[in-house]
Structure 1
C-alpha cells in the first residue's frame, strides 16, 4: 500500500508524504494488557468516527486524522511499522468521516462538500457525490456492496454556519434548539439517481444502512436526551415506512445506536437518569421491533461491536453524567475512566485498560479527546484515543493476546507450552 510511486501525479506534494513511525509499546498497570501508543502526542491525532471502516480487513492499516500545519488531514498507518501515508491536503477536509472500501482498495472521504474515492495504489481520486446547491453534506453511509449511499445533509444558513464555528458542547443543545432543516438522501452510485427519504426541521445524525439489507436505513434525532422526542428511527430506501424504533420518556437516555455485523439486531445503550440501576445494552429486532436486554454494562459513553458479534467494547468517563455535561472538575476527579470488554456469550465484563482521557473539548472539536474504542476489522485489536499524555493520541490494544493470556491464567497453563516463553509474567 505504501510503495506506490506518486511521481507524475498532478496533486499537491504533501499527498503521499510518509511520516516516520512513532510506536511506543506499554503495558496497562492493572490488567496487564499490551498496548502500543501509535502517535507521539506532538500533534492532535484521532481515528475516524467509529461507525466507519477504520481499518483494512486484515487489521494491518488504520485510517486516522493528524493535524498538519493547523489543518486535520487524513492518513493511513501501517500498524506493524507505524509509518503513515498522507492521503489529503488543503482545507475543508471533514476530520471524522472517512472509510476504507470493503475491498480495501479505496478510501472515501469528505472535502469541500464533495464525497471522494481515493485509490490507495496511485493516490488518484474520483468524484462520487456532492449535494445539491444550498445543502451541506455532514455524514454518509454505504451499503455492503457500496452501490448505495446515504448522505445526511443540512441546509446552509447563517445559523448553521454560526453553530459549526462553535467548538464546545454548547453545540449539542443549540443544535436541538435551532432545529435545522436536515434530510437523508439515498443515492444509487451506479445510475446517479437520488431520492430524499427524510426531510425534517430537526437535527438528524448517525445515518447507517443495515448490513445485509440495503433497503433499510437507520438514523437518529440528535441532541441532549431531555430535548428530543424519540432518538432512533428507521426508514425504507423508497422513503416509506418511517418509524421510531422505540418510545422514550424525558428521564431515559438512549444513545450510541449501532447495527450488529449481521444486521439482525440494532444495539443501543439505555439508562434512566433518576434511578441507580446500572446502564444496559439493549437490542431491537428491526423486523419485529421486539426489544430485549443483552446485558448490564458499566456506564459506557460509547461502544462498538466486534466483527463476530460476540464482544462489546466501551469507554467510561469517570462520571455517570451524560458526556456533554462533564466539567473540568469531573474530569479531574474521574475514578472510572477505563476501556471495558463485555462478552455477550458469557456475560463477563473485564477492564481492558485505563484510558485516562478527559472528554473535554480543548483541542478544536468536542470529539477529539473522546476514546471512541473500536475493533479492528480482523477482531484482534482495539483502537482508542486518549489525551492522558497532554494531546490526543491513538492507542492500540492487543486484544487477541489479552484474551489468550486471561485464558492461560485461569486454567493455570501459563507455566507450560507457548505461555512459558513470557517468563511467567503474564
Structure 2
C-alpha cells in the first residue's frame, strides 16, 4: 500500500491515516469547501491533498520562484508560502513530512518578496523600503538593507552563491501610472509606451552594498538569477509580447548584455521565461504566431541551440515548469479568454517530452477555478507531486496532486 499522508496544522490536527478519505472520488471544486482535505479527482483519477488549512487565504509562490528547503535533521523538506488574513500578508513554512505549518513573519503589517536561500536557510522579503531575512529554523530575523530615498525599488531574486539580491528600480512617473491605473489591462500598454528608464541592481546580503548594473529606456522586468551561475542575471523587456524581443541576460561582472531569443516572424511571441534547474537552458512559452501554434521552447545558453516541444491548443498553460530531473514538465492550463482561446484548457497538466511534441496527462480538473488567480505549478523536491494554488473551494488555498495515478 502506498505511503499515506498526515499533516498537522496550526488550526488543529488533521490525520490522513489509511485511505478512507482518499477513496472518495469527487468532482474537484463541486463542493465549497470540499468534504475532505484529500480526495481523488473523479475526472483524472489522481489524488489531491490540500496542504493549507489555515483560516483566510493561502498562496504558493510564483512559478519560477523556488519555495523549497531540504530537510534538516529529522525534519522533512519544507515549503515557504503566503498566508493572507485581514491582519496582513505573512510568510509561513510547512513541513512536507509532517504537514505542520508555522509562521515566519509576524512583526510586520504585510510583506512581499518570494526569495528562499536554501543554503543559508533564510527567507528574504521586503516591507516598505526595508529588506529583511528570517532563518527558517531559528526564526531569527535580521535587517539586510534599507532603500535610500532617491532609489526606492524592490528585490525579486537571489544569486546562486546567495551573496547578492537582485531587482529593478522604476521611476516615480511609472509608479504614478501604476497607481492611477491599477488594473493590468489599463497600465500595461501605458507603461510600455511611456519608454521610461528602469535600472537593474544588486544588493550585498551581508553589508548592504548596492550596485546599479544597467539602465535602459525599456520596461525591464521578470528578473531572475541563474540557479547555478552567480554572475548571470536574466531579465525581460516587458510589454506586448508580439512587439518585444523579450528575453535577455546580463553578466553582472562584465556587464555584457545578450539577447536570448530574437523573434523570427510577425506576431511571434515568447514569454514567462525560466531557468532549467542546472542553469544551462532558459525555457519559455513560444507561439508561432500568437494564438496559433504553441510550444514550450528552450535556448541552450552555451551554444544558442533552440529546442521546441509542441502543445495542442487545450494544453497551452499560463505557466510551465520543469521537474528537478528535467524529464518532466507541468502546466497550469488556462481559461477560454486567454491567448490560446482553448475550449477545454482548464486543467493541471503533466507534460512528457516525446521528440518534438509533448504527450500530456490531466492531473486536476480546474473547471471550478477562477483563472484570475494563476495556479503557478511547482514540482515537489521528490518529484512525486505537483503543487499549485487554486480557488475552486471558494478561497485561495495550496494543493498537491500526486503524479502517480491512484489505483483505487
TM-score range relative to shorter protein:
0.7 to 0.9
3-state DSSP of counterpart to 1:254: strand
Question: Are residues 1:24 and 2:46 paired?
Answer: no
Q: Which residue of 2 aligns with 1:93?
A: 111
3-state DSSP of counterpart to 1:309: coil
- Partner Cα distance (1:117, 1:358) in 2: 33
Most deviating of 62-71 and 183-192: 183-192
What CA deviation, in whole Å up to 9, does each residue of 1:108-153 have, x standing for no partner? 2122232211012332211223434333333422222202332222
What CA deviation, in whole Å up to 9, does each residue of 1:189-244 have, x standing for no partner? 45654432221232221212223222221111122224x42110111112522121
| Aligned ranges 1:116-155 → 2 under 5 Å | 116-155=132-171
- Partner Cα distance (1:388, 1:70) in 2: 24
Q: Which residue of 2 aligns with 1:102?
A: 118
Using the TM superposition, give the Cα deviation of residue 398 of structure 1 relative to its aligned residue in structure 2, in angstroms.
2.1
Using the TM superposition, give the Cα deviation of residue 304 of structure 1 relative to its aligned residue in structure 2, in angstroms.
1.0
What CA deviation, in whole Å up to 9, does each residue of 1:338-367 have, x standing for no partner? 01111236743211111232222xxxxxxx
- Partner Cα distance (2:100, 2:182) in 1: 30
Q: 1:340 aligns with which of 341, 349, 357?
A: 349
Most deviating of 377-386 and 127-136: 127-136
| Aligned ranges 1:214-225 → 2 under 5 Å | 214-225=230-241
Q: Which residue of 2 aligns with 1:358?
A: 370
Using the TM superposition, give the Cα deviation of residue 41 of structure 1 relative to its aligned residue in structure 2, in angstroms.
8.4
Is contact 1:343-1:349 (8 Å) kept? yes
Cα separation, partners in 2 of 1:186 and 1:250, compared to 1, 3 Å: farther
- Partner Cα distance (1:143, 1:273) in 2: 34
| Aligned ranges 1:43-58 → 2 under 5 Å | 43-58=56-71
Is contact 2:117-2:158 (8 Å) kept? no
Is contact 1:20-1:84 (8 Å) kept? no
Is contact 2:144-2:208 (8 Å) kept? no
Q: 1:286 aligns with which of 301, 304, 309?
A: 301
Using the TM superposition, give the Cα deviation of residue 269 of structure 1 relative to its aligned residue in structure 2, in angstroms.
1.0
Most deviating of 204-213 and 74-83: 74-83
Normalising to structure 1: TM-score of the pair?
0.77
5+ long unaligned stretches in structure 2: 1-8, 15-35
3-state DSSP of counterpart to 1:217: strand
Question: Are residues 1:378 and 2:382 paired?
Answer: yes
Cα separation, partners in 2 of 1:377 and 1:130, compared to 1, 3 Å: farther
Is contact 1:208-1:217 (8 Å) kept? yes
Is contact 1:342-1:350 (8 Å) kept? yes
3-state DSSP of counterpart to 1:301: coil
Q: 2:131 aligns with which of 107, 115, 119?
A: 115
Using the TM superposition, give the Cα deviation of residue 158 of structure 1 relative to its aligned residue in structure 2, in angstroms.
5.2
Q: 1:392 aligns with which of 378, 391, 396?
A: 396
Higher helix proportion (structure 1 or 2): 1
Using the TM superposition, give the Cα deviation of residue 336 of structure 1 relative to its aligned residue in structure 2, in angstroms.
2.0
Using the TM superposition, give the Cα deviation of residue 261 of structure 1 relative to its aligned residue in structure 2, in angstroms.
0.7
Cα separation, partners in 2 of 1:104 and 1:20, compared to 1, 3 Å: farther
5+ long unaligned stretches in structure 1: 1-16, 361-368, 406-424
Using the TM superposition, give the Cα deviation of residue 27 of structure 1 relative to its aligned residue in structure 2, in angstroms.
1.1
Is contact 2:123-2:133 (8 Å) kept? yes
Is contact 1:185-1:197 (8 Å) kept? yes
- Partner Cα distance (1:172, 1:57) in 2: 38
What CA deviation, in whole Å up to 9, does each residue of 1:294-320 have, x standing for no partner? 443621110111111111111111337
Q: 1:186 aligns with which of 194, 197, 202?
A: 202
Q: Which residue of 2 aligns with 1:61?
A: 78
Is contact 1:18-1:86 (8 Å) kept? no
Using the TM superposition, give the Cα deviation of residue 40 of structure 1 relative to its aligned residue in structure 2, in angstroms.
4.7
Q: Which residue of 1 aligns with 2:318?
A: 301
- Partner Cα distance (2:176, 2:291) in 1: 38
Which consecutive segments of 4 or more residues in structure 1 shift more than 4 A? 164-167, 190-193
- Partner Cα distance (1:34, 1:235) in 2: 42
3-state DSSP of counterpart to 2:90: strand
> What is the aligned-residue RMSD (CA, Å)?
2.8
Normalising to structure 2: TM-score of the pair?
0.80
Is contact 2:335-2:371 (8 Å) kept? no
Q: Which residue of 1 aligns with 2:329?
A: 312
